[in-house]
Structure 1
Amino acid sequence: MGRAQSAAREVNENPVVQIAGRVGMVFYGILYVLLAFITAQVVMGDSGEQADQKGALGQIAETSYGPFLLWVTAIGLFAFALWQLLEAAIGYTWIGKERKRLGKRVGAASRAVTGVLLALAAIKYAAGSGGGDSGAQQKELTAVVLGWPGGQFLVGAVALGVLVIAFVVIRKGVKKSFEEDLNMGELPNGTRKFVERTGRIGWIGKGLAYAIIGLLVGIAAVNADPEKSGGLDKALHTLAAEPYGVFLLAVIALGFFGFGIYCFAAARSHK
């Protein structure tokens, strides 16, 4: 086990892996900047694109160099996923508390899975088959689970889990704990303040989006109706129909944009 960890650490500290992972994080940030743009379109009532990360990939696909950019994005996201996977295995050694370090590693593992899924979606778009409707897939999965014995309980547990994640993400933005993972001291004073502000806005906005998804899944569990469920696209469009929705969507759009900019800074100064 010690040899395996030593080998993983050597790979993680390899300059090529570090550069590839940081470049991948830039692409991850680009998707969130595009997602902010799509969310702003939902605010203005023009929502032709799917309002989630796959919709952001669709935006890239519509450019003049769409297929080429999508392949580059896929490679970058695979590199990001590899970096996060290594961080999940042996990273965050600067965190003193074991429980907190475990939480960080679980988060890195989650980002690794997200990176792989988005990279595969980018490849599908590049091949001309599209990334699929994540909202429809969410409904189908919810319908299947609701059909199981105790299905409502299971879907409700998922909703609760998403809400807990939303709380953790929002808390991370409020308490600025994301700064623990960055070499903030290496940044100029003005840049440090900029990263602090965009990080807070980004993590809080991202957490609010997760909270809405959790509420929708919870409603689906209570009503035993998969049509009430959905992913980010469903959450944002549902919110747009509410009287206060425009304001919250604007906040979330700003949050996605802030998180994207934060990813650019984190790619440079992550420990």
Structure 2
Amino acid sequence: MPSPLASLRSRLARAGDFGRRKSPILRRVPPLHDLLEPASRIGYGARGFVYLSAGVLILLAATDLIGDAVGTKGAIAWMALRPFGRLWLLLVGLGLSAFVMWRMLQVVFDADHEGIDRHGLMTRMSQAFSGMSYGFLAFSAFGLLFHAPENPAAADEARSHEQAAVVLALPWGNWLLAAAGLVLLGVGVANVSRAWREDFTEYLACSPRTCRRVAPLARAGVIARGLAYMPLAVLVILAGLRSRASDVATFGSALDAVERQPAGPWILALAALGFIAFGAFSFIEARFRRIRPPRNLAL
């Protein structure tokens, strides 16, 4: 008996064949197999652009050239207020959507051939969480096309307080909010751990010399991402324990809290350089990443 995934692949393939037989326009569209690689590379490039922008803005905040630090979502909101902001938002939203599509193919169709052993399933689960987070980011970009608040940071913080208040209103809401903070803390620790144990050049089709040069960019970027989660996680945990929705912070305000500590600007500058490094590595992945087609995907 075929597995559910095999049945899904078969149905999608039949739907693609049926559409091409019935529509002359669809017959001119290249098969999904041929579109997959360029779309995935665009997705990696969009991710790199977002992290590079966030890193530059964090660095400017650390040196007091702008007011507040921002995360990836804040960087997208910052774009909305710049000249040609709607065009930037549209391009970034489409690029991130392409990246989410690639993550879906990695998870559902095992595009990287990870298998179903323990390591493979853990890798695909991580890719699923990554896909969801970038899906929310793409949704934010498209949402800002229709409504860009004058102060995105304040609007984002107000939304975070409202969401925290909804959680706190639930039975055992304070513990649920604290648990959400622990999950964020776990994500941060997992990123730092991953930075030391993972071979980030495994999927790159580049020379050994190039791989050796770009691997430190990936490690620095993943460490910075992991450490950047931790202040936000601590604030969410404390908000849950104190049952105060107003204590919940956004990613950017959590970084601002770090900046106010002794040596905070230096710590923030290091985090910014890490974000920039991760953005640069994403561009390298856009160029050299092995994009292997999923098995039995014949749309």
TM bin, normalised by shorter chain, reads 0.7 to 0.9
Equivalent residue for 1:82?
Answer: 101
Q: Is the 8 A contact 2:79 2:89 kept in 1?
A: yes
Equivalent residue for 1:150?
Answer: 172
Is residue 30 of structure 1 aligned with residue 49 of structure 2?
yes
Is residue 173 of structure 1 aligned with residue 202 of structure 2?
no
**Which of 4, 28, 38 is the equivalent residue of 2:8?**
4
Q: Is the 8 A contact 1:205 1:255 kept in 2?
A: yes
Partner-residue secondary structure (3-state), 1:179? coil
Inter-CA distance 212–177: structure 2 relative to 1 (3 Å threshold): farther
2 CA distance for matches of 1:112 and 1:46? 33
Equivalent residue for 1:211?
Answer: 230
Inter-CA distance 92–141: structure 2 relative to 1 (3 Å threshold): same
2 CA distance for matches of 1:19 and 1:156? 41
2 CA distance for matches of 1:241 and 1:50? 12
**Which of 186, 192, 195 is the equivalent residue of 1:164?**
186
Inter-CA distance 265–84: structure 2 relative to 1 (3 Å threshold): same
TM-score by length of 1: 0.88
Higher helix share: 1
Is residue 229 of structure 1 aligned with residue 248 of structure 2?
yes
2 CA distance for matches of 1:210 and 1:223? 20
Q: Is the 8 A contact 2:61 2:69 kept in 1?
A: no
Deviates more, 1:82-91 or 1:194-203: 82-91
Larger Rg: 2
**Which of 17, 22, 28 is the equivalent residue of 2:36?**
17
The one-character-per-residue Cα deviations of 1:193-247 (angstroms, maximum 9, x if unpaired) are 2320100000000000112211111111222222222221121011111113222
Equivalent position amino acid for 1:43 in 2: A
CA RMSD of aligned residues (A): 2.5
**Which of 70, 82, 103 is the equivalent residue of 2:89?**
70
Instruction: State the identity as a percent.
Output: 25
Residue correspondences, number: 268
The alpha-carbon deviation at position 7 of structure 1 amounts to 6.2
Q: Is the 8 A contact 2:68 2:252 kept in 1?
A: no
Inter-CA distance 70–241: structure 2 relative to 1 (3 Å threshold): same
Q: Is the 8 A contact 1:57 1:70 kept in 2?
A: yes
Is residue 121 of structure 1 aligned with residue 140 of structure 2?
yes
Inter-CA distance 203–81: structure 2 relative to 1 (3 Å threshold): same
Q: Is the 8 A contact 1:34 1:59 kept in 2?
A: no
1 CA distance for matches of 2:194 and 2:134? 21
Inter-CA distance 49–241: structure 2 relative to 1 (3 Å threshold): closer
Compare relative contact order (CA 8 Å, sep 6+) and give the higher one, 1 or 2. 2
Deviates more, 1:142-151 or 1:186-195: 186-195
Partner-residue secondary structure (3-state), 1:79? helix
2 CA distance for matches of 1:96 and 1:129? 43
Equivalent residue for 1:254?
Answer: 273
The alpha-carbon deviation at position 191 of structure 1 amounts to 2.2
2 CA distance for matches of 1:140 and 1:174? 37
The alpha-carbon deviation at position 6 of structure 1 amounts to 5.3
TM-score by length of 2: 0.80
Equivalent residue for 2:27?
Answer: none
The one-character-per-residue Cα deviations of 1:58-79 (angstroms, maximum 9, x if unpaired) are 3333443322222122111111
Equivalent position amino acid for 2:285 in 1: A
**Which of 219, 233, 244 is the equivalent residue of 2:263?**
244
